Amino acid sequence: MKFFFKFTLLLFILISQSSSAKNNNTLYEKLDLFSDVLEKINKEYVKDVDQSEVIDAAINGMLQSLDPFSSYMSPESFKNMNVDTKGEFGGLGIEITMEKGFVKVISPMEDSPADRVGIKPGDYIIKINDKQVKGLNIIEAVNLMRGKVGTSIKITIRREDVDDDLSFTIVRDIIKVREVTSAIKEEIGYLRLRAFNEQSSDQLLSKIKDLSKTNKDIKGYILDLRNNPGGLLSQAVKISDAFLDSGEIVSIRGRNKDDIKIYTAKKGDVLNGKPLVVLINRGSASASEIVSGALKDHKRAILLGEKTFGKGSVQTIIPLKDKGGLRLTTAKYYLPSGTSISEIGVEPDISVKENKTDFKINDDKKDNQLQYALNLFRG
């Protein structure tokens, strides 16, 4: 019981310090109601409950009512937060978010365990090893999916336009991210960017330089951002800048009117004005949307494929006294046109849906979106 009263007293003090006198009465009433509910659960629920877990769930409910990307991290989750794509880890190879109480797949990493069994952008994960996902936060879901390399996990998903739920057994593996690959396809430079990590811009520029040196007759380029879940803002700005001569790339706007940061391009187009087609789909998110949106707004590239995911917000990690942390949305991205990416996405100039059967990215026979892009250059 002391735990409950300490928690509600802390909330009471924090909120009363940050609120105007006009709102205090309502806040006090809500906090009193919250304390009353906690007490009733503790005394009358059908079985004993872990008070700490109940409080954590209450905090997460509060944060998830704000948006799908804000969440609470327990001390253990906060400690493990940096186990990500900087190194190697045992997992499934998917980028996820929360939506409608379920885990939503932003995109599977190319050639990852999830990609190989057929997980697609937009899939909703509703069960993990027969455990219902609804009610979990994103950190808890991630922890359930991680595990020892070589162990298997059963994932049940719900897919748009498919009547029955689908189940997949996936074997966890070491996840390695190959950020940039390139090729020449019919005198067109093809650049596949899978993530925006620390070396992405340097690798991309190096690939362009190598292609132009060895192929003097390149007619144009295709930048493939499909199933690229994003990454570092700095890399999105550098890559956008590489294709632009001037103008705004992206702005970040916070809660206050004066809380705005604008990123602009410097003179110098690495392609020297050669035509550029950017491939996008539902798995293109965050940094991918900044690049594709900026190039579209400046009419520097033709966007082809499907509307992007719509992940246009900035999350700040805030340490807490219990050694846990908050992942809190503190700003949003805006394109040069002034349009917010958040929950809207970027529309392609040319809409081409992927073949529902027998589709594979960057396969000369099975990638109908890539073939459409190549046809644009053929005239």
| For residue 95, pLDDT beyond 70 | yes
pLDDT digits (tens, 9 = 90+) for 211-228: 999 888 999 999 999 999
pLDDT exceeds cutoff 60 at 175: yes
Q: Is the confidence at residue 81, as pLDDT, over 70?
A: no
Please, is 343 exposed, middle or buried when counting C-beta atoms within 10 Å of its C-beta (0-12, 13-18, 19+)? middle
- Residue 290 near residue 236, CB atoms below 8 Å: yes
**Under a CB-based contact definition with an 8 Å cutoff, are residues 291 and 279 in contact?**
no
- How far is Cα 89 from Cα 143, in angstroms, rounded to an integer? 12
Predicted confidence at residue 89, as pLDDT, reads: 56
CB 247 within 8 A of CB 213: no
pLDDT of residue 10: 46
Max avg pLDDT among 33-42, 175-184, 281-290: 281-290
The residue whose two tokens read 């040196």 is 213
Which range is least confidently modeled, 44-53, 173-182, 293-302, 351-360?
173-182
Contact 252, 261 (CB under 8 A): yes
Catalytic residue among 311, 313, 342, 367: 311
pLDDT value at residue 142:
84
From residue 209, give the alpha-carbon distance in Å to each of 115, 191, 219, 261, 291.
30, 12, 15, 31, 20
Q: In terms of pLDDT, which residue wins out, 341 or 91?
A: 341
Tens digit of each residue's pLDDT (9 = 90 or more) over 236-273: 999 999 999 999 999 999 998 888 999 999 999 999 99
d(CA 203, CA 198): 10
* Mean pLDDT value of segment 299-319: 94
Question: Would you call 240 a catalytic residue per the annotation?
Answer: no
Does the pLDDT at position 86 exceed 70? no
* Rounded CA separation 223/296 (Å): 13
Spatial distance between the Cα atoms of 91 and 144, rounded to a whole number of angstroms: 10
Q: What is the mean pLDDT of the chain?
A: 87
Active-site option among 286, 288, 313, 342: 286
Could you say which of 115, 173, 241, 297 is catalytic?
Answer: 297
Picking from 67-71, 84-88, 152-156, 163-167, which range would have the lowest pLDDT averaged per residue? 84-88
Domains, the chain, with CATH or none:
2-75 (no CATH), 79-174 (2.30.42.10), 180-314+330-378 (3.90.226.10)
Chain centroid, CA 81 distance in Å: 15
- Residue 82 in this model has a pLDDT that exceeds 70: no
Mean pLDDT over 46-62 rounds to: 86
Query: How many C-alpha atoms does 315 have within 13 Å on its Cβ side?
Result: 19
The better pLDDT of the pair 240, 63 is held by 240
Per the annotation, the verdict on 311 as an active-site residue is yes
Residue 336 CB: number of other CB atoms within 10 A?
21
Q: SS3 letters for the chain?
A: CHHHHHHHHHHHHHHHHHCCHHHHHHHHHHHHHHHHHHHHHHHHCCCCCCHHHHHHHHHHHHHHCCCCCCEEECHHHHHCCCCCCCCCCEECCEEEEEECCEEEEEEECCCCHHHHHCCCCCCEEEEECCEECCCCCHHHHHHHHCCCCCCEEEEEEECCCCCCCEEEEEECEECCCCCEEEEEECCEEEEEECCECCCHHHHHHHHHHHHHHHCCCCCEEEEECCCCCCECHHHHHHHHHHHCCCCEEEEEECCCCCCEEEEECCCCCCCCCCCEEEEECCCCCCHHHHHHHHHHHCCCCEEEECCCCCCCEEEEEEECCCCCEEEEEEEEEECCCCCECCCCCCCCCEECCCCCCCCCCCCCCCCHHHHHHHHHHHC
The pLDDT of 178-189, averaged and rounded, is 91
- Residue 324 — very low, low, confident or very high, per pLDDT cuts 50/70/90? confident
Answer whether residue 322 shows pLDDT above 90. no
Q: Residue 55's pLDDT is what?
A: 85
Checking if the pLDDT of 20 tops 60, the result is no
Residue 333 CA neighbour count, 13 Å, CB half: 32
Q: How confident is the model at residue 97 (pLDDT cuts 50, 70, 90)?
A: confident
Task: Tell me the per-residue pLDDT of 3-18, one tens digit each, with 9 for 90 and over.
Answer: 444 444 445 444 444 5
- Quote the pLDDT of residue 58: 87
Q: Is the pLDDT of residue 318 over 50?
A: yes
Range scoring the smallest mean pLDDT among 95-99, 181-185, 225-229 = 95-99
